[in-house]
Amino acid sequence: MSTHPMVPGEPTKTGTTMLETATAAVQKFGPINGVHQHLCAFHFYGHDMTRQVEAHHFCGHQNDEMRQCLIYDSPEADARLIGVEYIVSENLFMTLPDAEKKMWHSHEYEVKSGVLFLPGVPGAIQRQDLAKVAQTYGKTIHFWQVDRGDNLPLGLPQVMMALTHVEKRFNVNFDKERENRAYMKGLEHGIHPLANAGGKGLKTELREVDCHGGAGAHATPRVFV
C-alpha cells in the first residue's frame, strides 16, 4: 500500500506554488483550521465486506455531540480526499427519521477492537476520547473507489497483512489496545436495529433524471450541482 498515491496530471508548477503561498498569507481557512484530530481506521465497502480501505479522518467538533471529518487515503501531504464522515452522539442519532438511521453505523466494535486509533497520540490520552467515540454513530460517504491495491477482495491472511503493515507504520499494537479498551462502554441503548443498514448491504448507484427549473422547460442548465 503506497502512502504516495499517483495522481493524474502535470507536476505542480513553481508559479502555482508561489500563487498558493501568496493567497495563503491573506486568506483565512476557518473550516480547515477547525480540524484538530487525526483518526485512522479501516472502512469496508457497504455492499462487499471483503473489500476495505485505509481511511485517515481529519476531524473537528461542531459541538460536544457532533464532529465532522475529511477522509484521505493517507496522512501524507499528497493524499487524496476520498470521503467525509459525520459523527454524532447516540442522543442525536435517535432524533433522526427511521429512513435515515439505516445510513449510520455504530462505532463500538471499531473502537474496542483496537483498530481505530489516533496516530502518534499516547494510548492513555487517546483512550479518553475514544471512549466517547465508542458511544457514537457515524455516516460515511466515499466519493469513489480507491485504487491503491488495498481495496481488492481480501481473504483473512491478506487482511491480517494489511493490519500488520499499519501497526508497523504507526507503531501501534491492535491486540494490546483491544485489551486496554475492554473497560469501555458502548451505546447506552445498544445498537439500534436500523443502524448498520439493518444488517444488510447498501450500495449507491448513479442514475439519470430529468433536469427541471431554469428559464424554461427546455432550458439548458448552466451549473450542475
CB-based contact 137:195 (threshold 8 Å): yes
214: CB partners within 8 A, 6+ apart: 220, 221
What is the distance between the alpha carbons of residues 69 and 79, in angstroms, rounded to a whole number?
15
Question: Which three cell numbers mark 112?
Answer: 474496542
Strands (E), the chain: 37-45, 48-63, 66-72, 81-89, 105-106, 136-142
Residue-by-residue pLDDT tens, the chain, 225 positions: 444 456 778 888 899 889 989 998 999 999 999 999 999 998 887 777 777 889 999 999 999 999 999 999 999 988 889 999 999 999 999 999 999 999 999 999 999 999 999 999 999 999 999 999 999 999 999 887 655 444 444 555 566 777 888 999 999 999 999 999 999 999 999 999 999 998 888 877 888 999 876 555 555 556 655
Residue type present at position 114: G
What is the distance between the alpha carbons of residues 28 and 53, in angstroms, rounded to a whole number?
32
Q: How far is CA 187 from the centre of its chain?
A: 20
What is the model's pTM?
A: 0.83
Question: Which three cell numbers mark 76?
Answer: 501524507
CB-based contact 104:171 (threshold 8 Å): no
What is the distance between the alpha carbons of residues 76 and 21, in angstroms, rounded to a whole number?
19
- Closest alpha carbon to 184 in 142, 123, 99, 140: 123
